[in-house]
Chain A
Amino acid sequence: EPLFQAWSYFRRRKFRECADVCSQLLERPPSEQVAGAGPGREVEAAWSLKTRALTEMVYVDEIDMDQEGIAEMILDENAVAQVARPGTSLKLPGTGQGGGPSPAVRPVTQSGRPITGFVRPSTQGGRPSTMEQAIRTPRTALTARPITSASGGYIRPGTASMLTNPDGPFINLSRLNLTKYAQKPKLAKALFEYIFHHENDIKNALDLAALATEHAQFKDWWWKVQIGKCYYRLGLYREAEKQFKSALKQQDMVDTFLYLAKVYLRLDQPVTALNLFKQGLERFPGEVTLICGIARIYEEMNNISSAAEYYKDVLKQDNTHVEAIACIGSNHFYSDQPEIALRFYRRLLQMGVYNCQLFNNLGLCCFYAQQYDMTLSSFERALFLAENEEETADVWYNLGHVAVGIGDLNLAYQCFKLTLVNNNDYAEAYNNLAVLEMRKGHTEQARALLQTASSLAPHMYEPHFNIAILSEKVGDLQRSYTAAQKSEEAFPGHVDTQQLLKQLKEHFAML
Chain B
Amino acid sequence: GRDLICIQSMDGMLMLFEQESYAFGRFLPGFLLPGPLAYSSRTDSFITVSSCQQVESYKYQVLAFATDADERQDTEQQKLSSGKRLVVDWILNIGEQALDICIVSFNQGASSVFVLGERNFFCLKDNGQIRFMKKLDYSPSCFIPYCSVQEGTVNTLIANHSKILNVYQDVTLKWATQLPCIPVSVKVANFQDLKGVIVTLSDDGHLQCSYLGTDPSLFQAPKVDSREINYEEMNAEMKELQKIIREATKTQDILPESEKQRDITVIAEVSADLDKESQAIDSEVKAGAVPSVTVKITIQSRVTAQKPSLAVCVQAPLAVTCDQFVFDDLEPDSSETVVLSVFLKENCSPPELEGTCMVSYNTPTELNPEGIPRVSQCSFSLPLKLVCFPAQPSKAANHKLTIDTNKPPISFVTIFPDFVDPSEGDQANALGFQFLTGSKATLLASKTSQRYRIQSDQLEDLWLVTKELIYRLEEHFKKQNCKDFACTFSGSIPLQEYFELIDRHFELRLNAEKYQELLSERAVQFRAIERRLLTRFKDKTPAPLQHLDTLLEGTFREVSAV
Contact = CB atoms under 8 A, between A and B. Distances in A.
B459 interface: no
Nearest to A220: B93
Contacts of A349: 219, 221
A381 B93 contact: no
Contacts of A1: 10
A186 B52 contact: yes
A380 to B, nearest CB: 6
Interface stretch (A196-204, A304-312, A316-324): A316-324
Contacts of A187: 32, 51
A11 B32 CA distance: 16
Contacts of A45: 32-33
A380 B224 contact: yes
Given A320-B173, A381-B224, A12 B203 contact: yes
Contact of A354 (B137, B219, B224): B219
A286 B135 contact: no
Contact of A44 (B32, B141, B534): B32
A189 interface: yes
A381 B535 CA distance: 54
A13 B31 CA distance: 22
A132 B31 CA distance: 57
B511 to A, nearest CB: 20
Contact of A384 (B11, B224, B531): B224
Given A320-B173, A381-B224, A351 B93 contact: no
A44 to B, nearest CB: 6
A48 B32 contact: yes
B173 A7 contact: no
Contacts of B141: 12-13
A12 B520 CA distance: 58
Interface in B534-555: 534-535, 538
A77 B11 CA distance: 52
Given A7-B33, A37-B13, A253 B139 contact: no
Given A52-B97, A75-B531, A252 B11 contact: no
A1 B524 CA distance: 65
Interface stretch (B74-82, B126-134, B303-311, B440-448): B126-134
A221 B182 CA distance: 33
Contacts of B31: 37, 186
B527 A254 contact: no
Contacts of A12: 141, 182, 184, 203
B219 A351 contact: yes
A37 B27 contact: yes
Contact of B527 (A3, A7, A75, A414): A75
Given A186-B51, A287-B134, A350 B520 contact: no
Nearest to A292: B137
Contact of B534 (A75, A287, A320): A75
Interface residues of A, number: 61
A351 B178 CA distance: 10
B213 interface: no
Q: Is the interface of A mostly helix, strand, loop or mixed?
A: helix
A392 B538 CA distance: 48
Interface in B8-42: 10-13, 27, 30-34
Interface in B108-126: 119-120
Nearest to B13: A37
A186 B12 CA distance: 13
Contacts of A251: 93, 130
A29 interface: no
A354 B218 CA distance: 12
A222 B139 contact: no
Interface in B445-485: none
A441 interface: no
Contact of A36 (B10, B50, B203, B216): B10
A189 B33 CA distance: 13
A130 B176 CA distance: 49
A241 to B, nearest CB: 13
A15 to B, nearest CB: 11
A433 to B, nearest CB: 12
A94 to B, nearest CB: 26
A74 B119 CA distance: 35
Given A3-B10, A74-B527, A319 B221 contact: no
Given A37-B13, A45-B33, A317 B172 contact: yes
A270 to B, nearest CB: 21
B88 interface: no
A317 B173 contact: yes
A166 interface: no
B176 A350 contact: no
Nearest to B540: A239
Contact of A319 (B51, B173, B245): B173
A13 B161 contact: yes
Given A3-B10, A37-B27, A384-B224, 10 more contacts: A12-B182, A13-B141, A131-B523, A186-B31, A236-B538, A254-B120, A284-B132, A288-B135, A350-B216, A381-B221
**Nearest 5 interchain pairs by C-beta:** A36-B11, A222-B95, A186-B51, A352-B219, A318-B173
23 contacts: A11-B99, A37-B11, A37-B13, A49-B33, A186-B51, A236-B538, A252-B130, A253-B95, A255-B95, A255-B135, A284-B132, A287-B135, A288-B134, A289-B137, A317-B172, A317-B173, A318-B173, A349-B219, A350-B219, A351-B219, A354-B219, A377-B224, A381-B221
Interface of A: 1, 3-4, 7, 11-13, 36-38, 41-42, 44-45, 48-49, 52, 61, 74-75, 77, 130-132, 185-187, 189-190, 220-222, 225, 236, 251-255, 258, 284-289, 316-320, 349-352, 354, 377, 380-381, 384, 414
